[in-house]
Structure 1
């Protein structure tokens, strides 16, 4: 269902009832709400960290940060031939970031942003919007650090919207809309703090993630 314009408040309300906005492409000013019959989610105790990925995290030399370059991460996610992130959505996410309802996790090689992921938070739910990679495995590494952060800061739901082969290879699954709505309601009744200070060392992340993967 199309919508002429969205406010940050209406956008958050949409997430709270299980729908999310998209545009057909970056130059399309129209937005529409999406309510998938089957929803992609990442069980927070089900992230699959292979030996090769653990080795990559340990030896990559990347630096990880949160909320240091939110716009840069959104720009990176939109920098592809086919994107659903138009100018209005970019601005809405920026406004949500300013009010503490949208966050990014960045992957750096020296001072160059080489990967990242961003999403919207409500209660103990993290709605993953998009991720990007300009370096081998940067998006996988971003997801590993993200899942570790979500687990440590009290989140109960990691919504990926749709299930891709890439996400499935890392442990994401697909659940019916009715099951998703129940998980969402449960998560919204709890609180979590994405920005809580953590020591997310490579060794710590690998140790915690391999205990459950």
Structure 2
């Protein structure tokens, strides 16, 4: 027969000991009105001393980074955190972490900023500005751009179709373009284009 207070005393002694690297909890299982089984669950104890030291190192490091990069760009290319490669992170004049997405600058919410600081603390080599490739630039600045396609029907009338650039893929330093027609149909161009050719296309003004 289980004596619960005896079990509680033993569990408390284990959990309060600094020399035992784990803590335990338990569950009592009944059969009818009687406790027939006891299930112990082992939990690894956190090393509070190590945790405290790591926390100190984190804030010491963060303060140094803020001081070094205040009012400057900090990094980009944080695709591991699901940001676009060209999302630029910066430290503002008050020491807050912000992001610049195609010219739209905002200060990060506390939770988002802390997650990003933690990632950079664990991956300090990510604190750098990675130059954008030509493919990056096309995806950043030219997706969604529209062009006119002018054709002549069998009866000789002029027909204008609006095409939208949806995606790019690179092959041998040239680029294929995924096009969307007005009816929603998409296709990839059979011809590849040079970077400068795409930049020189006659894009329609955005309204």
- Under a length normalisation based on structure 2, what TM-score does the superposition of the two structures give? 0.20
Kindly indicate which of the two structures has a greater share of residues assigned to strand: 2
Kindly indicate which of the two structures has a greater share of residues assigned to helix: 1
- Under a length normalisation based on structure 1, what TM-score does the superposition of the two structures give? 0.19
User: Which of the pair has more CA radius of gyration?
Assistant: 2
> Greater relative contact order: 1 or 2 (C-alpha under 8 angstroms, separation 6 or more)?
1
